[in-house]
């Protein structure tokens, strides 16, 4: 029974390794269709574009025209992907701003000494961002309380917020 389990495990391991090598493009099996990687497609598109630029328009074959159209389609896909990534980044940034505004409102409604204790335990960058979203009076009250317990952090936060001491 042990041998059967060992043999079964070895068969599964060999199949897994073979599948990994096949999908990575390292090994080609004659009974499976060849894998075409994205890198290979983009390289062939670049080669066909270079060939197209070197030839005169009258000598461009239909195959090269088709590959040039494919390259243009790949470029439009890339632009749409860029737009999706940009919109996702904008959405994340907007969510971060909303969170900072919410945190600033919560801390503004607290007693300045309690808010200072919370700010003292925050990451410096996060604390500076939250304080910058607070009303100036409320932020100064919190920084004043923080100065009595941790003057170095208060000064650092003030500098990170873009203010200069004494001005």
Does residue 20 belong to any structural domain of this protein?
Answer: no
Does residue 18 belong to any structural domain of this protein?
Answer: no
Does residue 31 belong to any structural domain of this protein?
Answer: no
Which structural domain range is residue 119 located in?
A: 85-161
110-155 residue pLDDT tens: 999 999 999 999 999 999 999 999 999 999 999 999 999 999 999 9
Dmax over Cα atoms in the chain, in whole Å? 82
Does residue 167 belong to any structural domain of this protein?
Answer: no
Does residue 117 belong to any structural domain of this protein?
Answer: yes
With H, G, I as helix, E, B as strand and everything else as coil, classify residue 111: coil
Does residue 118 belong to any structural domain of this protein?
Answer: yes
Does residue 103 belong to any structural domain of this protein?
Answer: yes
**Number of structural domains the chain divides into:** 1
76-109 residue pLDDT tens: 668 888 888 888 999 999 999 999 999 999 999 9
Q: How confident is the model at residue 69 (pLDDT cuts 50, 70, 90)?
A: low
Does residue 25 belong to any structural domain of this protein?
Answer: no
**CATH assignment of the domain containing 104:** 1.25.60.10
Give, in degrees to the nearest 5, the angle at Cα 119 between 106 and 104: 30
């Amino acid at each position: 029974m042990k041998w059967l389990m060992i043999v079964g495990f070895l068969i599964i391991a060999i199949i897994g390794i073979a599948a990994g090598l096949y999908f990575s493009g390292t090994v080609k099996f004659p009974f499976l269709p060849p894998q075409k990687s994205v890198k290979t497609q983009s390289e062939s598109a670049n080669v066909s574009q270079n060939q197209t630029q070197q030839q005169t328009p009258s000598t461009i074959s239909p195959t090269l025209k088709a590959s040039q159209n494919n390259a243009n389609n790949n470029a439009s896909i890339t632009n749409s992907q860029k737009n999706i990534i940009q919109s996702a980044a904008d959405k994340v940034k907007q969510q971060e701003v909303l969170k900072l505004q919410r945190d600033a409102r919560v801390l503004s409604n607290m007693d300045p000494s309690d808010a200072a204790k919370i700010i003292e335990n925050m990451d410096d960058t996060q604390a500076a961002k939250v304080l910058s979203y607070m009303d100036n009076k409320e932020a100064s009250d919190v920084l004043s309380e923080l100065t009595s317990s941790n003057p170095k952090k208060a000064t650092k936060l003030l500098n990170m917020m873009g203010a200069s001491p004494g001005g």
